[in-house]
Amino acid sequence: MKRSVAMMACVLSGALMIGSYSPVFAEGAKAVSAKSAAQESEDTENTQEKTEETKTDESSEEAKADDTAKGDVLEDGVYTAEFDTDSSMFHVNEANDGKGELTVKDGKMTIHVSLNSKKIVNLFVGTAEDAQKDGAEILEPTTDTVTYSDGMTDEVYGFDIPVPAIDEEFDVALIGTKDKWYDHKVKVTNPEKKSDASVETTEDTKKVTAEDLKLKDGDYTAEVKMEGGSGKASVTSPAKFTVKDGEVTASVEWSSPYYDYMLIGDEKYEPVNEDGNSVFEIPVDGFDYPMEVVADTVAMSTPHEIEYTLQFDSASIKEADK
């Protein structure tokens, strides 16, 4: 009997102890569970933050790469660049292999392109609609001489076109001999900087006409540079020239009386004077480029045709004294 009472007492005591500790265990379990949830949430937030940082870094890198792809602003200088258009009727002359001369000055870019003919008479950077509005800045042509692979030459129109950005399409409208404006898309790509020597040569050989210079009919003078021959002969500079109906005729005086004719292409010109140094009146098809001529001299035992170039400087043009 005593033994049974003692056992019952132990059971009751154990039950009381379990009952008293159960809330503690429950609270502990809740605390552990809460802690785990908090840790999991923190880990998730950290993971998300790292993911966002990674995305931000990638976006930043992509932006930098994109900026690099578009190219930093080209440094001042002269470049060759491809000039792409959306039309087989409007493109760079085949003699120039689809390329023009890109000039960068003070961050502003302009490309000079020689076209296929003289059928396109004006350009406008923008749409055909805007080209017809008051105050539109219409681009006027230059007269360019192109040389084909077979040695043949031709005169075509060229244009100096402002370029807003490299590798990006922009609008250019054109008007031809039919007096109607058309919309086109163009793009300038792959600029390659020229060496100083080639830049100097290009600048020396870019021809401009009396029409380009808007010279009115009248009498003028201009500095003229002659090259070729033995270097002993020379011509008088400045030289007098006359403009009539857009055509230029120059009076060229040699340093010798022994030149009996000149050749300009296939045309032969004889002296216009009988006494003194030989003087010729010859057509000049442009300024600022070396115009090829041939002069025949009888100073030696036998006549000799000698090749020269004459370059008339447009920057030095002045009205002749009356």
Structurally, how many domains does the chain consist of?
A: 3
DSSP string computed for 178-246? T--EEEEEEEEEEEEEPPHHHHHHHHHH--B-TTTTTPPSEEEEE-EEEEETTS---B-SSEEEEEETT
Where is the domain boundary, 70, 95, 129?
Answer: 70
Statement to judge: residues 142 and 241 lie in one domain: no
Q: Is residue 119 part of a domain?
A: yes
Share of the chain above pLDDT 70, in %: 73
Q: At 169, which CATH number? A: 2.60.40.1850
Statement to judge: residues 86 and 165 lie in one domain: yes
Instruction: Identify the domain containing residue 44 by its residue range.
Output: 1-70
Residue-wise pLDDT for 130-153, tens only, equals 999 999 999 999 988 888 777 677
Q: Are 202 and 101 in contact (CB under 8 A)?
A: yes
- Nearest CA among 99, 88, 89, 66 for reference residue 168: 66
Where is the domain boundary, 70, 95, 112?
Answer: 70
Where is the domain boundary, 70, 101, 125?
Answer: 70
Q: Is residue 92 part of a domain?
A: yes
Q: Which two tokens stand for residue 95?
A: 């003699």
Q: Which two tokens stand for residue 302?
A: 């036998």
pLDDT of 123 > 80? The answer is: yes
pTM over 0.95: no
Q: Are 292 and 309 in contact (CB under 8 A)?
A: yes
Statement to judge: residues 194 and 271 lie in one domain: no
Q: Is residue 314 part of a domain?
A: yes
Statement to judge: residues 101 and 201 lie in one domain: yes
Statement to judge: residues 51 and 88 lie in one domain: no
Statement to judge: residues 233 and 315 lie in one domain: yes
Q: 106 or 112: which carries more pLDDT confidence?
A: 112
DSSP string computed for 108-152? EEEEEEE-SSS-EEEEEES-HHHHTSTT--PBPPEEEEEE-TTS-
pLDDT at 71: 46
C-alpha–C-alpha distance, residues 78 and 81, integer Å: 10
Residue-wise pLDDT for 3-50, tens only, equals 554 555 544 455 444 444 444 444 444 444 444 544 555 555 555 555
